[in-house]
Structure 1
Amino acid sequence: MTQGAGSNYTNLASEPPDHGIGRSRGGLTSKIHHLVDGHGRPLVVLVSAGQAGDGPVLEHLLAHLKVERCGPGRPRTRPDRLRGDKAYSSRATRQRLRRRGIVAVIPEPSDQIGHRKRRGTHGGRPPAFDAEDYKGRNVVERGFSVTKQWRGLATRYDKLAIVYRGAAVLRAITLWLPHLSDTP
């Protein structure tokens, strides 16, 4: 009779997908992705593994977006514009946003500019970019800053991604509450 465990769950090569933890250069990490309104209040909150790219998560964020209208009608699912950093600057992302009628305010990374210029006339025109509108993207970064003021979110004490996302959603609710009450 032998003793020992068939699997040492603490030393797995990779975490299970329901943990939302991935290995990156800094160790085991995770990311919070969110869409915010013009005042930095989160509308959609998702959690992914740390090594996961930002671009593929954008489609899931937009799929979860539902904003109530002031009057009658179904909720809005399409923002007027999307301000994103260079991680979202792929041709596929821009095409998806264009198909949905969303204005993309995303700068083009220097490597994409170089690839386009090397191709010459076959490289096409550069994508439209409104530098003045892009200055409003700091609202997104300030939203992350306010969200991460909760120590549990900044250091991620939770093992399961659903619990961590629940904490992020709870933080989003606490950010919305002062703006939804009718008392000053």
Structure 2
Amino acid sequence: MPIIAAVVGAVMTGLLYYFIYGAGMEQLDRYLGNRRSAKLRARSEAASRAAPVHAIRDPTDAAGVLMMLVALARGTPTPAQEAAIAAAMRKVTSPGEDHGARMAYIRHAATQASDAATAVDLLAPLLREKLDAAERDDLMRMIEAVAVIHGGPIDAQDKLIARTVRVMGERN
């Protein structure tokens, strides 16, 4: 037993000398600083990725992003899904608008969102404020129309639609 205590004492003394007189404190400071920087960097990257969704002020664009998120929940959006989204967007926008640019913006904002749930949370207040009950019902039909392409919605799409319905129904 005294041998174990001597070994533990020697190790502890060595660690103490390393931290006091060696480079132990500098390495510990560097490690904690790197950890702090990594957390700040991750938070900053998440904020910059959410910027396109934060910038949306038009409920039409918000609806397009929600439809694109439902398509992305299945994987890479297919031409049939993108055509359905574009057709839905043409129905709710004026004929003179540049639908190609709008679709590019919608695609970019949806792919930059860190996750679909966060994007829904960011877009729901805008949609609740700008859309009446009938328009919100139309939006849900458009989202479900995108989900049924390719044999019906998968589990991830069902969960996203259910979350969207729930968040859209909440009042702040």
TM-score (norm 1): 0.25
TM-score (norm 2): 0.26
Name which structure has the greater RCO, CA cutoff 8 Å, separation 6+.
2
> Greater share of strand residues, 1 or 2?
1
